[in-house]
Structure 1
């Protein structure tokens, strides 16, 4: 199923490709190796304490990209490349963490000395290069970026601190019977039983959307664009917005609808002249999100590839039964046209380690839409579909189609529905994906045949890492039609 789209490699892309191949299990994937093992275990008749390092489930690094501001345009490509290199460094370090469990058991300082220490040195070298590139292009780099070089180990439980310590008490990654949680038989890190919740246990109306449909008095119309569910099987592990020119810049596989020329090397001209899967041929916009997979042992086309099984993203790719792409208005007044090639990222692929400040996807089940959750996958009753819903930022700074951290040129509305000072309302994209998924079985702290969103390896397939991306490539006439429809209060498509 599917294909990885590629055009060409540039020297920058070649430099960034993740180096170390992951140790595969079965059809591929990073070795999980009992990340959740208890703090004490029986060995040769004696009860010996495992080292603190063996309790480190993943690697937590400060997100340098979110701290960078005011990068001169002519340095943006180089800076994005260095940031993608940092992601590859973290992936390589995580692979080493996952394949050295025996060494960690015998040496409490192994993780720090052999993984985190060298990683800090490598990250500092890239940070120095980023600062040099910004200054050389006429900007003023943040002199404090060096403080972001160091990373730490952390357990998989997001409620614990990031020190990589575990006293063996509390849940400590064990199930109720004191048995170790395993890797679901896949040899990859997550999801685990605690990542799922019965939809009946989610409180109604407990999650307030950052933005919703326009209220009376604003621009109440809608415009729906029909672009299919990726019937053309367009997949790759690139990220044209965050890592342009970088092969495998996402380290996970994306689903694409709309524009059919999406990879790391696509120029604006490529996008403007591409085919589109949208029924309205004036919409060549790029809509993409990480694929959802059922971890059932299926060997997908990317089972041995970077971004796929070689980086822990395994199992059957689940195509949405339906993908609804709707643009809505503002609660406070009219909207204005989006500029062509406006780029918007919503959600955060690194929310498990970054924190939930930018997390944005709602998970739910059909028939239970009043129950929304961000940090759990829902267990839906028979006949109910799994729903992924994302409401994008809808306030634009009026000047830029992108920004250094790919976020600052866009903003969410304020509590009263108005845009922050200096921003103006544009049509808000809302993406609703519906999936037919057999409900995973969760018993005794174990989950069988789980589904999970593709993620960076160190993010452990947590649902909070879900995200969504959009590049506006509507022609001018269509964008004006969208704006007019919304401002007139009509429902169009």
Structure 2
């Protein structure tokens, strides 16, 4: 990463289109049980992830030798120059009969109108203050009180129209750490906001978290003032995922014990939501994009940014490195044992 990745804090408001920030679609690269950040070199990691970005993603990605811009031949994200990798856990529907099915993902139009996603997620780089990596959230946490609602949250979307904005700024208002469980929620928007303060020294840390920190701000506001231990401002990175739950609204198939039918691939709820990030922008294009006030998912000649058409980034996929069935009805979540079709 260009270590001078600094700039002025920009406030994200509901009228996000008026802000100069990158906001773009990333389609599904692969869904598999690998995690080169937490479990490097391991096939069939403890839980399933959906991964987007550069196709050099692999099970090890040794930071000393892995160079995503040089090693990737395509990216499933909008900008040709972004060969980074972004990944999260996967949401499943848990049926009364004990089977599970992956909840489909759609784009989130927001201020741009429709963003086209083939699975995947939307990524924001909100201006604020090689080999950079970080993780947001805790994959084993079950306590919502240990999660800041301003950083990781869920929103009930009462329509399948992703262009019909619901509520205020991300992670505000009635948003919850827990996954909503109501038949009025035709979609559930998940938001993961990463720390925007860096210690200025380490590109990673043993737990992939202590080299970065959250500032005094809450939500998608650029991060706020940084603590003295982490004085360097980074662009605030935010993931948005739209889980289309509309086909699972028959309460007759929800768990008989009244538990939430929507869980992440760790078989845990919202407090365990998490996201991973490995930097892979070409050269100094991200620095230039911040400096030149590039906006949304458009070409930005001043920074050398080129937006691909949806058919181009949708076509960038990768075969599973840990092969198993992850679609359709499964007898159990793939947790340790191989997934088995119901």
**Contact conserved, 1:222 with 1:485, CA < 8 A, in 2?**
no
State the alpha-carbon separation in 2 of the partners of residues 467 and 412 from structure 1.
15
Residue 450 (str. 1) matches residue 261 (str. 2):
yes
Residue 343 (str. 1) matches residue 133 (str. 2):
yes
2:53 to 258, 275, 278: 258
**Contact conserved, 1:257 with 1:286, CA < 8 A, in 2?**
yes
The change in CA–CA distance for 1:426 and 1:212 in structure 2 (over 3 A counts) is same
**Contact conserved, 2:133 with 2:204, CA < 8 A, in 1?**
yes
2:184 to 365, 368, 381: 381
Q: Tell me, which stretches of 5 or more residues in structure 1 are unaligned?
A: 1-210, 299-311
Number of aligned pairs? 247
State the alpha-carbon separation in 1 of the partners of residues 144 and 23 from structure 2.
33
Counterparts in 2 of 1:42-61, with a 5 A limit? none
TM-score by length of 2: 0.63
The change in CA–CA distance for 1:386 and 1:212 in structure 2 (over 3 A counts) is farther
TM-score by length of 1: 0.45
How many Å apart are 1:357 and its aligned residue? 5.0
The change in CA–CA distance for 1:380 and 1:398 in structure 2 (over 3 A counts) is farther
State the alpha-carbon separation in 2 of the partners of residues 214 and 434 from structure 1.
19
State the alpha-carbon separation in 2 of the partners of residues 463 and 434 from structure 1.
14
Larger Cα Rg: Structure 1 or Structure 2?
1
Residue 411 (str. 1) matches residue 213 (str. 2):
yes
The CA deviation string for residues 72-108 of structure 1, in whole angstroms up to 9 with x for no partner, is xxxxxxxxxxxxxxxxxxxxxxxxxxxxxxxxxxxxx
How many Å apart are 1:380 and its aligned residue? 5.1
Whichever structure has more helix as a proportion of its residues is 1
How many Å apart are 1:255 and its aligned residue? 0.3
Secondary structure at the residue paired with 2:42?
coil
How many Å apart are 1:479 and its aligned residue? 1.1
State the alpha-carbon separation in 2 of the partners of residues 291 and 271 from structure 1.
24
How many Å apart are 1:324 and its aligned residue? 1.8
Q: Which residue of structure 1 lines up, in the alignment, with residue 272 of structure 2? A: 465
Residue 479 (str. 1) matches residue 286 (str. 2):
yes
**Contact conserved, 1:342 with 1:471, CA < 8 A, in 2?**
yes
- The answer to which structure, 1 or 2, has the higher relative contact order (CA under 8 A, 6+ apart) is 2
Q: Which residue of structure 2 lines up, in the alignment, with residue 271 of structure 1? A: 68
Q: Which residue of structure 2 lines up, in the alignment, with residue 246 of structure 1? A: 42
The CA deviation string for residues 126-178 of structure 1, in whole angstroms up to 9 with x for no partner, is xxxxxxxxxxxxxxxxxxxxxxxxxxxxxxxxxxxxxxxxxxxxxxxxxxxxx
Residue 235 (str. 1) matches residue 31 (str. 2):
yes
State the alpha-carbon separation in 1 of the partners of residues 258 and 41 from structure 2.
38
How many Å apart are 1:481 and its aligned residue? 2.7
State the alpha-carbon separation in 2 of the partners of residues 212 and 466 from structure 1.
26
State the alpha-carbon separation in 2 of the partners of residues 290 and 241 from structure 1.
13
The change in CA–CA distance for 1:364 and 1:475 in structure 2 (over 3 A counts) is same
**Contact conserved, 1:440 with 1:447, CA < 8 A, in 2?**
no
The change in CA–CA distance for 1:444 and 1:419 in structure 2 (over 3 A counts) is closer
State the alpha-carbon separation in 2 of the partners of residues 212 and 297 from structure 1.
46
How many Å apart are 1:355 and its aligned residue? 7.0
State the alpha-carbon separation in 2 of the partners of residues 388 and 427 from structure 1.
20
How many Å apart are 1:377 and its aligned residue? 3.0
